[in-house]
């Protein structure tokens, strides 16, 4: 069953009382000022139809959702062997910015959806592209069918000023030989990707290629192969929500990716892409009301990959 706007509104009203139970990310000061009561959802069908409710057209910081875009871009530039020798495919069961496994596993991050993994992927993009930030923006504008998407420079520089942990992660990988470029220029790019400002509608459109075997919305050519699209969805289902990935699979049952801006994207392969936004996060850094909205919607429309 296709959700109607009325159903989406109903779901949002059911989860709205959860606002107040989480905490807006404040370790990036520019994010701390985002109003906690924002709540939006958008569904994009593979035929391009958009259904939306709440604050679905308001831009927010996509943060770690950008890790999926970096991986996608890297997959277009590297052979699988090259890529997967630098980063693993296993769930971490640890916080997104944890360094524990990185030390034990000799500078090879567990997967591309935690900070170490996305930072190493950003290093790889830096090695193969002459203007990685420009290429990323071009890709996102294409995928979202929105030429107005920009990097939020205030968020990016706020994160740069509080970058000690991510810089430590990068230097640790460099000490193990798993880093090719200077750390700071790579981190600058990584923070910019995280600071992409997009709405739920933009995100639902953008990730439509993962619901459609690698074919972006309105495009004639796949951006990645059907097999690579399957690979990304598998990694999203196992690693997309960090140490909350199991709980998310249990409750929502869809490949998904969250960000500390409060956004979550979820994929129903072959059918649709869903994006939700509510800034308050749980202990793992995943949106509280966003997860609940996806859980309710998956039940109402009877969709799950399990
Ligand atoms: N930019 C954030 C960071 O590197 C992204 C984290 C997230 O969204 N989980 O800490």
Confidence at residue 173, expressed as pLDDT on a 0 to 100 scale? 98
163 pocket-lining for ligand 1 (C-beta < 6 Å): no
Domain residue ranges in the chain: 5-64+197-301, 65-194
How confident is the model over 15-30, as a mean pLDDT? 96
In sequence order, which residues have a C-beta less than 8 Å from that of residue 97 and are 6 or more positions away? 114, 115, 165, 166, 169
What's the 244 CA to ligand 1 centre distance in angstroms?
15
pLDDT exceeds 80 at position 122 = yes
Domains 5-64+197-301 and 65-194 share a fold: yes
Query: What is the number of the ligand 1 atom nearest to the C-alpha of 64?
Result: 8
What's the 193 CA to ligand 1 centre distance in angstroms?
10
Residues known to be catalytic: 64, 67, 190, 242, 260
Give buried/exposed letters for 144-167 (b at 16+ CB in 10 A, else e). bbbeebebbeebbebbbeebeebe
Residue whose CA is closest, atom 4 of ligand 1?
115
What's the 232 CA to ligand 1 centre distance in angstroms?
19
Please identify, in words, the CATH class of the domain defined by 5-64+197-301: alpha beta
Six token digits for residue 41: 């959802």
Superfamily of domain 65-194: DD-peptidase/beta-lactamase superfamily (3.40.710.10)
Binding residues for substrate: 64, 115, 159, 166, 190, 242, 260
259 pocket-lining for ligand 1 (C-beta < 6 Å): yes
What's the 289 CA to ligand 1 centre distance in angstroms?
19
d(CA 88, CA 108): 7
pTM assigned to the model: 0.98
Confidence at residue 3, expressed as pLDDT on a 0 to 100 scale? 86
Reported confidence tier of residue 126, pLDDT bands at 50, 70, 90: very high
How confident is the model over 109-114, as a mean pLDDT? 98
Indicate the length of the chain as a whole number: 306
159 pocket-lining for ligand 1 (C-beta < 6 Å): yes
pLDDT exceeds 80 at position 1 = no
What's the 205 CA to ligand 1 centre distance in angstroms?
22
CB 299 within 8 A of CB 11: no
Per-residue pLDDT tens for 141-197? 999 999 999 999 999 999 999 999 999 999 999 999 999 999 999 999 999 999 999
Helical segments of the chain, H only? 5-15, 29-32, 66-77, 80-86, 100-104, 115-128, 132-144, 153-161, 164-175, 183-194, 200-206, 208-211, 226-239, 245-251, 288-301
> Mean pLDDT of all residues in the chain?
97
Per-residue pLDDT tens for 53-99? 999 999 999 999 999 999 999 999 999 999 999 999 999 999 999 99
Residue whose CA is closest, atom 2 of ligand 1?
63
Reported confidence tier of residue 2, pLDDT bands at 50, 70, 90: confident
166 pocket-lining for ligand 1 (C-beta < 6 Å): yes
How confident is the model over 236-252, as a mean pLDDT? 98
How confident is the model over 295-303, as a mean pLDDT? 96
d(CA 154, CA 39): 22
CA 210 to chain centre: 12
295 pocket-lining for ligand 1 (C-beta < 6 Å): no
* Nearest CA among 4, 1, 2 for reference residue 52: 4
Query: What is the number of the ligand 1 atom nearest to the C-alpha of 96?
Result: 9
Confidence at residue 269, expressed as pLDDT on a 0 to 100 scale? 98
Query: What is the number of the ligand 1 atom nearest to the C-alpha of 191?
Result: 1
d(CA 168, CA 133): 22
CB 278 within 8 A of CB 296: no
């Amino acid at each position: 069953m296709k959700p109607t706007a009325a159903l989406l509104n109903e779901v949002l009203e059911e989860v709205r009382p959860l606002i107040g139970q989480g905490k807006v990310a404040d370790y990036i000061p520019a994010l701390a000022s985002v109003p906690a009561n924002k709540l939006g959802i958008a569904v994009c069908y593979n035929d391009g139809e958009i259904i939306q409710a709440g604050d679905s057209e308001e831009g927010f910081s996509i943060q770690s959702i950008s890790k999926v875009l970096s991986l996608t871009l890297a997959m277009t530039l590297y052979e699988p062997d090259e890529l997967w020798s630098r980063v693993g495919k296993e769930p971490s069961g640890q916080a997104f910015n944890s360094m524990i496994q990185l030390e034990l596993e000799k500078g090879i991050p567990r997967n591309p959806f935690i900070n170490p993994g996305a930072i190493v992927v950003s290093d790889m993009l830096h090695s193969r592209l002459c203007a990685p930030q420009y290429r990323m923006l071009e890709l996102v504008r294409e995928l979202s069918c929105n030429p107005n998407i920009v990097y939020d420079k205030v968020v990016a520089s706020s994160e740069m000023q509080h970058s000690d942990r991510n810089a430590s992660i990068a230097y640790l990988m460099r000490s193990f030989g798993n880093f090719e470029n200077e750390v700071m220029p790579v981190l600058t790019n990584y923070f910019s990707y995280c600071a992409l400002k997009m709405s739920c509608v933009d995100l639902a459109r953008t990730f439509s290629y993962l619901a459609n075997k690698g074919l972006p919305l309105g495009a004639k050519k796949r951006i990645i192969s059907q097999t690579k699209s399957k690979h990304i969805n598998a990694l999203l289902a196992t690693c997309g929500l960090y140490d909350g990935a199991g709980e998310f699979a249990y409750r929502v049952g869809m490949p998904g990716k969250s960000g500390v801006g409060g956004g979550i994207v979820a994929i129903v392969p072959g059918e649709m892409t869903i994006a939700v936004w509510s800034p308050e996060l749980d202990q793992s850094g995943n949106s509280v009301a966003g997860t609940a909205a996806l859980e309710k919607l998956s039940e109402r429309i009877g969709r799950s990959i399990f």
